[in-house]
Amino acid sequence: LSDIIFDCLMQLLEIAQVPDEHVSEFKSIEKFKIFNTNNLWVNLKAIKRLVEADALKMEIIPNPKEVDGVKVLQLETAAGAAIKFFDKAIGINVPRSRFLPVKATSDLLLVQSDLYTLQDGFVVRNQARENPENPSIELGPEYKKVSSFLGRFKSIPSIVELDSLKVAGDVWFGAGVTLKGKVSIIAKSGIKLEIPDGSVLANKEINGPEDL
């Protein structure tokens, strides 16, 4: 933990509350240098006081989404938004090494790979990786659901030396695959592309079996 950065009333702003024309501004790290990691520590006595006073007026956030091709409107509240009701709320700035969210299967690939290990209940980064930044990983819609993601990997590839990975199309990974440098695997339409067991792909662009 590093410096405490807030000591005043705060308000959480979710992207679902931002008009389309202001999304790029919302994502600007120049304008908003601090963002919420959703790690909340709350005094239950303080919550009890607010509930009994009927002071927790949580805002409903309409969040447009698409589920199996159907457009839906998800109505939600954000737990972190309650921060504006607490007079003595603070925010704590933590280093990037403490922030490892899993919100998509690309994040899941990172934490399940050999880039991280679990030691005494803590997720620890592999010291064998020389690059201080995590690799950039972009997985296609075929990997969006966790079940589909897990079904397409016999085992999670080694990515300690990976810089970036882009995967799209009907791609399946064998066991013991190693990815290094910049790897792009974009299967041609109508082709089932299987990465063989034990493959080592380093700075490769693959579109079909002939590229392996």
pLDDT one-digit tens code per residue, 147-190? 999 999 999 999 999 999 999 999 999 999 999 999 999 999 88
Band (97; pLDDT cuts 50, 70, 90)? low
Q: Which of 7-11, 46-50, 119-123 has the lowest mean pLDDT?
A: 7-11
* CA 100/CA 112 separation, integer angstroms: 12
Please give the average per-residue pLDDT across 92-101, as a whole number: 74
Mean pLDDT taken over the chain: 88
Task: Kindly report each contact of residues 179-184 with a partner whose C-beta sits within 8 Å and lies 24 or more positions away, as own/partner.
Answer: none
* CA 78/CA 84 separation, integer angstroms: 12
Beta bridge partners of 66: 71
pTM for the predicted model, two decimal places = 0.67
- pLDDT at position 124 is 87
- pLDDT at position 90 is 82
Please give the average per-residue pLDDT across 13-31, as a whole number: 84
- Higher-confidence residue of 113 and 212: namely 113
* CA 158/CA 126 separation, integer angstroms: 11
Helix, strand, or coil (residue 100): coil
DSSP states along 153-191: BSSPPB-TTEEEEEEESSEEE-TT-EEEEEEEEEPPTT-
- CA distance to 27, 96, 121, per residue, from 163 (Å): 23, 18, 27
Location of structure tokens 């990786």: 129
How much of the chain is in helix, strand and coil states, percent to nearest 5?
25, 25, 50
Helix, strand, or coil (residue 14): coil
Residue 3, pLDDT above cutoff 50: no
- pLDDT at position 30 is 82
- pLDDT at position 178 is 97
Q: Which of 46-50, 83-87, 203-207 has the lowest mean pLDDT?
A: 83-87
At residue 117, φ and ψ (nearest 5 deg) are -130, 165
pLDDT one-digit tens code per residue, 50-94? 999 999 888 898 988 888 889 999 999 888 888 888 888 888 877
